Amino acid sequence: MDADREGSGRRAPGRAAAYAACGVVLLAGCASMPDSGDLRGVDSTPRQDTQVRVFAMPPQEDAEPTDIVQGFLEALTSDDPNYETARQYLTAGAAKHWQPRLSTTVLDDGPRADIVRPVGREQEQNGDTSFTLSGTRVAEVDAQQSYSPASGTYQETVHLVHDKKTKQWRIDSPPPGVVMGQSDFQRNYVAVNKYYFASNTQAVTSPQTVAVADPVYVRERVDPMTQLVESLLSGPTSWLDPVVRTSFPTGTALKKGIPPLAPDDRNTLTVPLNNKVKNVSPDQCEAMAAQLLFTLRNLAPAVETVALQVGGKPLCSADESDADGVATRGSVESPEFLYFVDGQHKLVRTQAHPEGSSAKPVPVPVPGALGKGDKDLASVAVSRDEHMAAGVGIDGKTLYVGSLVSGGSLGEPVLVSSGKTAQDRLTTPSWDTEGDLWVADRNPADPRLLLFKEGAGEPLTVATPGLDGRIKDLRVAADGVRIALVVEKGGKQSLFVGRIEREGKIGDAQSVSVRELRSTTPDLEEVTTMSWAGDSRLVVVGREQGGVQQTRYVQVDGSTPEGPPPTALTGVKEIAASEDDEMPLVAYSEDGIVRLPSGAQWQKVDADGTAPVYPG
């Protein structure tokens, strides 16, 4: 379910094009269920190959209430585009008002059904009965197709009536939305990124517009391309909406009555739109096409060009080169160097070889005072254009900023912490896409999240409403509108992702805040280190309660990406990844600095090094 599909993280085109199904599986929908009071699990459908489409069977003649409930629940997990089979288990009135796209509730296993015994003879004579559906919540997907982790007990009542004319049992009170077990959810849905543009952030490099990933879940074998385009046109999810904009005019939608979207034999996808776009400028049209191409290539990498139409006539088109000229994305911005602190506590760098390279990295001191000066460093951060660097002194007390040019001086520290111990002083800093520097002072007497405009001057205190605990570590995303924070409270370290909001014109003095922190690893009680590893993905090292240290990928919405986790590595203290997933994963472990090229095992880079970072 990985929404970051650049490079090796992509699905194979044949799998991504889920609309080209090659098989059908029918759900029986009529398995036996006891009508005693005992709970019975409605088993999740065994995981099928993603190319196999699954359809449910309609209700059988004279089916008992237990079979109707079972059949309805199984129909919810099928690949029926409009849930028409599921509606056949409902009364006419319920089928008309039921809204399956309102939400999808994911349970750890299939929902359990327990018949509700009638209170008296009157209910039996009225010809109705009820079942209680229950389970343990895992997640919720809302009407915007946005995923969020969930917990606690799920319990809903399903009411059935016996129609006097047809003599058939039907459900007249279904549960809200759709409910299914986790394995069915993984079979039915796929996570993909749709893309918008940062509304108050610009990159220091050209092009200045920054594309921001907005992960959503679509049904994998139910015309996913059309679903994804419709989701993009409907606008960003509520959490991301305050900090992004879309190039599409209000009310833009697909032309009515068109067939499912699919690329032609030249890998061009034609997207017919309604008349809301007929008067857009060429530049705006190109931006619209870029948004679509970023989004669609995330689902189907074989798509090379997007062509927009209105009224049956061409409007504009964009290929990958055109789109990359409109906006920059972190997942396609490759760093030139990997940086770390050597055994002499100085900043060094080595070529950031693409994954699979067999060349042995050769670390060399960076140009400037941070590489050859007299300041001993504990942690570092390098600006995204790789022109500037920041370093925290060996005692965690002082923050220095210098340029990466030969002969560059360092000067006085830009920040000094008053914390009594290294653990109560400065975190590892992080640079955003505008060239501003972020760092947290962990001093218990005055904990602060600080921002230095262009890495200099008086720091701006960043407001953090809703933050409950002390910031232990931070990383700003390449898009500049999201920040990952490791927050410590009561001996527990948790990973949160917050939205960066800026007030004021770009380049001027701004009020900056981090809002609506969302937990991405609710099952971990200790997060040792983390790094961004894609447009909407992070790599995290942590430990569950009573468990051992593990390294995993997580999505910003708290879901788990599809695919295997990184190869196990013991004693990881720090980890570094690039948003471009062709770059090797790098860690500081008990073996020093090591890297993980694609398809290989961990390789030693430097036995004495610490604090590895890619630019950012």
pLDDT tens-digit readout, 267-320? 999 999 999 999 999 999 999 999 999 999 989 999 999 999 999 999 999 999
pLDDT in tens, 322-370: 999 999 998 888 999 999 999 999 999 999 875 545 667 789 999 999 9
Using the predicted structure, report yes or no on whether residue 429 has a pLDDT greater than 90: yes
Q: What is the pLDDT of residue 202?
A: 79
Numbered ranges of CATH 2.120.10.30 in the chain = 330-613
Q: What is the pLDDT of residue 503?
A: 87
The answer to whether residues 401 and 409 touch, using CB atoms and an 8 Å cutoff, is: no
**pTM listed for this prediction:** 0.89
Cβ within 8 Å of residue 485, ≥6 positions away: 467, 471, 473, 474, 495, 496, 497, 498, 514, 517
Hey, which residues does 391 pair with through a beta bridge? 380, 400
Segment 245-249 shows an average pLDDT of 98
Using the predicted structure, report yes or no on whether residue 37 has a pLDDT greater than 50: no
Q: What is the pLDDT of residue 210?
A: 95
Greatest Cα pair distance, the chain, in angstroms, is 93
Interstrand relation of 415-416 and 398-403 (parallel, antiparallel or unpaired): antiparallel
Using the predicted structure, report yes or no on whether residue 11 has a pLDDT greater than 60: no
CA distance 321 to 130: 58
Using the predicted structure, report yes or no on whether residue 2 has a pLDDT greater than 80: no
Q: What is the pLDDT of residue 4?
A: 55
Q: What is the pLDDT of residue 203?
A: 79
Across 275-426, where does the E strand assignment appear?
305-310, 313-319, 337-341, 347-351, 364-365, 377-382, 388-393, 398-403, 415-416
Of 120-124, 550-554, 563-567, 569-573, the range with the lowest mean pLDDT is 120-124
DSSP character for 174?
P
Using the predicted structure, report yes or no on whether residue 15 has a pLDDT greater than 80: no
pLDDT in tens, 368-385: 999 988 999 999 999 999
The answer to whether residues 550 and 302 touch, using CB atoms and an 8 Å cutoff, is: no
Q: What is the pLDDT of residue 409?
A: 81
Fold category of 330-613 in CATH: Neuraminidase (2.120.10)
| Cα-Cα end-to-end distance for the chain | 26
Q: What is the pLDDT of residue 17?
A: 38
pLDDT in tens, 159-212: 999 988 899 999 999 999 999 999 999 999 999 999 999 998 777 776 789 999
Confidence class for position 14, pLDDT limits 50, 70, 90? very low
Q: How confident is the prediction for the chain on average, in pLDDT?
A: 89
3-class DSSP assignment, residue 308: strand
Q: What is the pLDDT of residue 201?
A: 78
CA distance 85 to 191: 25
Q: Which H or E run contains 367?
A: none
Q: What is the pLDDT of residue 563?
A: 86
Count how many Cα atoms sit within 13 Å of the Cα of residue 326 in the half-sphere of its side chain.
Answer: 28
Greater pLDDT, 7 or 374:
374
Q: What is the pLDDT of residue 353?
A: 74
Segment 145-166 shows an average pLDDT of 95
CA distance 502 to 244: 11
Calculate what percentage of the chain has a pLDDT beyond 70. 88
Confidence class for position 497, pLDDT limits 50, 70, 90? very high
Count how many Cα atoms sit within 13 Å of the Cα of residue 360 in the half-sphere of its side chain.
Answer: 4
CA distance 74 to 136: 18
The answer to whether residues 435 and 454 touch, using CB atoms and an 8 Å cutoff, is: yes
Using the predicted structure, report yes or no on whether residue 586 has a pLDDT greater than 60: yes
Q: Which H or E run contains 38?
A: none
